[in-house]
A = this chain, B = another copy of it.
Amino acid sequence: MTSILTVGVAVIDFVFRVEDMPKPAEKTRARDAAVVGGGCAANAAAAISRLGGTAHLAARVGQDMVGDMIVSGLRDEGVDCLLVRRFENRRSSYSSVVVDRHGERMIVNYRDETLDFGAAWLASSDLPDFDAVLADTRWPEGARVAMEKARERGAPGILDAEPPVREAQAALGIASHIAFGQKGLMDLTGEKDVETALRAAAAETGAWVCVTLGENGVTWLEDDGVAHMPSFPVEAIDTLGAGDVWHGAFALKLGEGSGEREAIRFANAVAALKCSRFGGRAGAPRYEEVEALLAEMR
């Protein structure tokens, strides 16, 4: 079984579905609500586990009840949480996500800024066997250690690059693959044109680079040119966590030994299926569903 180590952020989102967006000084009754695990690395790990991979998550969480919810939700998804470190007297991160009837979202998030940013404990941990490593840029020190470990073992080291990307500068130079979001790519390079920006990012980092454009697919550099893969056509019900799930699927395929093009196609199918259902990462698909969609669209 392919084994992926994901490193980064794990949170809880309290999601409320409302008719209309709430206004100040008002009390709005939600017509539905869900407590949904979130965070880039955690969502990716949950998606990998659903797809039949072995997912090991390394993350920092407070020793509090929100942290209990985070870990419990991940264990329910089959994610190995041995490297999820709990910090005494620190609080876990959580968000309130309000979604109105048009699918528009309003997010308020809280992060305990006193949570230790260091990753020396991870560097000296006894890591499990893995076929690829995926890290998000929200925990820069963790990302750096993750990319070093991948390089040491000769496995793909994939970075999910979101702003502020420069904070994860050290990891950028070690990663074998960097998958930018549109904002992350602009944030790093200052370039608006996708091809120019990708070339600048590749020149600076020496990594294979791509940018995920949501419903507009994925663009990457290939054979001195630019390649593009469109997204799969779906009715998007809920895009929460779609990018994270994409990264998890992409890392899984690279870990299995697939080429980038094949991995992108697979990840696009996974993200499309996720977006067709409500509930954040809880909408991530099983392997068979992805195979079925890929066969259908061939």
Determine, out of A93-101, A193-201, A214-222, the stretch whose residues face the partner at the interface. Answer: A93-101
Q: State whether A23 touches B106 (Cβ < 8 A).
A: yes
Q: State whether A25 touches B105 (Cβ < 8 A).
A: yes
Q: State whether A109 touches B27 (Cβ < 8 A).
A: yes
Which of A7-44 touch B at CB < 8 Å? 14, 16, 18, 21-30, 32-33, 35
CB A106 to nearest CB in B, in angstroms, measures 5
Task: Determine whether A237 belongs to the interface, using a CB cutoff of 8 Å to chain B.
Answer: no
Which of A105-151 touch B at CB < 8 Å? 105-111
Q: State whether B110 touches A28 (Cβ < 8 A).
A: no
Q: State whether B110 touches A24 (Cβ < 8 A).
A: no
Complex: how many Å from CA A84 to CA B64? Answer: 22
- Give every chain B residue within 8 A of A111 (Cβ-Cβ): 29
Identify which of A21, A22, A72, A111 gathers the most chain B CB atoms within 10 Å of its CB. Answer: A22
Task: Determine whether A68 belongs to the interface, using a CB cutoff of 8 Å to chain B.
Answer: yes
CB A203 to nearest CB in B, in angstroms, measures 30
A16's partner among B27, B96, B100, B105 (CB-CB below 8 A) is B96
Task: Determine whether A69 belongs to the interface, using a CB cutoff of 8 Å to chain B.
Answer: yes
Complex: how many Å from CA A141 to CA B98? Answer: 31
A108's partner among B18, B25, B72, B107 (CB-CB below 8 A) is B18
Residue of B nearest to A29 (CB): B109
CB A113 to nearest CB in B, in angstroms, measures 9
Contact A24 to B106, CB < 8 A, known contacts A14-B96, A16-B96 = yes
Per-residue 0/1 for A85-103: is the Cβ within 8 Å of any B Cβ (1 yes, 0 no)? 0000001001010101000
- Give every chain B residue within 8 A of A98 (Cβ-Cβ): 96, 108
Interface of A toward B, CB cutoff 8 Å = 14, 16, 18, 21-30, 32-33, 35, 64-66, 68-69, 72, 91, 94, 96, 98, 100, 104-111
